[in-house]
Amino acid sequence: MAKVKKAYFCKECGYEAPKWMGRCPACGEWNSFTEEIVARESGSVPAAMTSALPRSTPQRVGEIRSNDRPRLDLGNAEVNRVLGGGLVPGSLVLLGGEPGIGKSTLSLQIALADNGLKTLYVSGEESAEQIKMRADRIGIGNDACMVYSETLLENIMAQLEEQRPDLVIIDSIQTIYTDLVESSAGSVSQIRECAATLLKYAKGSGTSIFIIGHITKEGAIAGPKILEHIVDVVLQFEGDNNQVYRILRGIKNRFGATFEIGVFEMLDAGLRPVGNPSEILLTHYDAPLSGIAVGASVDGIRPYLIEVQALVSNAAYGTPQRTATGFDYKRMSMLLAVLEKRVGMKMYTKDVFLNFAGGFKVADPGLDLAIIAAVISSYYDRPIGEGICCAGEVGLSGEVRPAPRTEQRISEAARLGFRRIVVSGYLPKGAKRPKGIEVVAINSIDQLPRALFINEE
C-alpha cells in the first residue's frame, strides 16, 4: 500500500484541499469541508475493471468514423423524448430527485419494459425480494432483466464482464464504494472514483449505464459537482409528493436538446407517461367561473396549455396578502403593480391569491398575460369567454411583448380546439397563424379586457 493520504473535500462542489478550511474558495460555502482518507495500492486498478477496455490511439479528425448505431428504444415514450429520441449506446445518464419522488420506480420500469434489451439492475439500497415485490406491481415485460444486490464496485464490474448487458442501472451511486478508496460510501472521493470507473467502462464497451443520485436539501444533486460534468446526460425528477404528476426534466444532454420535459402520472401500477400534458392541466367546468384563465406555456421546446387561477378579494386587514403557489412571488407583485399603475385597478386594497392547476411550478414569462387576465376576471367578477387563451410577456410600462416560441403556443391552442388566443402585437408579420383559431394582437395591457370580454359587451 502507498502512504496513507488525508485530504479535505468540499461536500458541495468537491474542491480538494490539503487542510481544513472554513470557507470553500471554489463555491463559497461555509463549513462544508470533511476529512477523508485516500489510499491507493501501488499497482493499477483491478484487471476485472479494465480487461475489456480497448487501448485508444490518436486519430485524425477526418478519419474518425461516426457512430451509425441507432438509439436504443427504452419502451417509454416520455423518457425517449427527454433523451432526444432514445438512449445513445455507451452513454452515462444521471437521474436525480427527491426521496419518494419515483426514481427507483421509473428506473425499474425502464429495466422491465419490453424493449428487447438485456438489462442488469444493480441495487445497493434494496434487496432482491423488495425489487421483486415492486416488479410484480409494475408488471414484468422483459424476461432478460437481471437483478443484482451489491455495493462493492469491483464485484459489480466483474458481473458486467460476465453478463455483458446492453443496459445497466445503478441504484444508487451514493451506496456504491470501491476498495481503492478508504472512505465511506457516498463520500466525495468514492462518488468521483466510482463514476469515473463506470464512465470508462461505458465508453469502452458501448454499454449504456443509468445512475440514480440523491439530492441535497437545497435540491441540487448530492456529491461533487464533477459528477454532473462526468456524465453525458443529467435528468431531474420533479414533483410534489402531494400531487400525482411528475416531471422528468433534461438539465444536460450531450446528444440532444436540453430542458426537454416528460410528464408522468403516479399510479398504483407505477408511472404512466402523459403524452398530452394540456389535458391534465385544463379543467372543464359546467358553468364559466371568474378568476380562471388559460395560458399557453412552453417548457423547453414542448408547448402545453395550463389553467391559471386567481382570487382577488377585499383586504380584511391593513396590509393586503399576496400568495402565489407554483409561481414567483416577486414577479406576481410586479404584475400587480403594473395593473395598478397602467390600468388604474386599486390593488393596494385587495388580497390576491394565485394558483396553477395540477400543482405545477412554472417560470415562463409568457404566462404574464394569462396571470393578468385571471386577476382582471376575479377583480371584476366576470368570467372569461370560453375557448380563449393568452400568451405574452408584460413589461413594466404595460407593453405586451412576444413570448418565446409564440408560433408553437398558437399551434398547440389550435390543436386543442381553442377559438381565440391573445398575443403580443409586436410579433413578426411573417409568423404562421394556423387555421381555425383567431389571433388577437394587443400592444398594452389596457387593451386586454376588450380582447377577453368582447363577446359579452
Annotated binding site for ATP: 97-104
Binding residues: 97-104
Name 94's bridge partners. Answer: 211, 234
C-alpha cell at 331: 414577479
As beta bridge partners, residue 292 has: 309
Residue with cell 364559466: 288
Helix (H) or strand (E) holding 242: none
Cell numbers placing 283 = 379543467
d(CA 233, CA 249): 11
- Give how far Cα 95 sits from Cα of 128, 164, 270, 279, 390, Å: 21, 22, 17, 27, 34
Give me the residue label for grid cell 464533477.
Answer: 226
Name the 3-class secondary structure at 122.
strand
Whole-angstrom distance, CA of residue 31 vs CA of residue 449: 54
Helix 188-205 with 153-163: angle, nearest 10 deg: 10
CA distance 202 to 77: 24
Side by side, the strands of the sheet bearing 292-299 are 322-325, 350-356, 302-314, 292-299, 388-390, 420-424, 438-442
Looking at the chain, how many residues does it have? 457
The rounded distance, in Å, linking the Cα atoms of 149 and 156 is 9
Q: What angle do CA 416, 422, 427 make, to 5 degrees?
A: 110
Please give the grid coordinates belonging to residue 275: 403524452
Task: Please give the backbone phi and psi of residue 117, each rounded to the nearest 5 degrees, phi first.
Answer: -100, 135
As a 3-state breakdown, the chain gives helix, strand, coil percent values, each rounded to 5, of 30, 30, 45
Torsion angle in degrees (nearest 10) through CA of 325, 330, 335, 336: 80
DSSP 360: -
Residue from 160, 158, 159, 192 nearest 173 by CA: 192
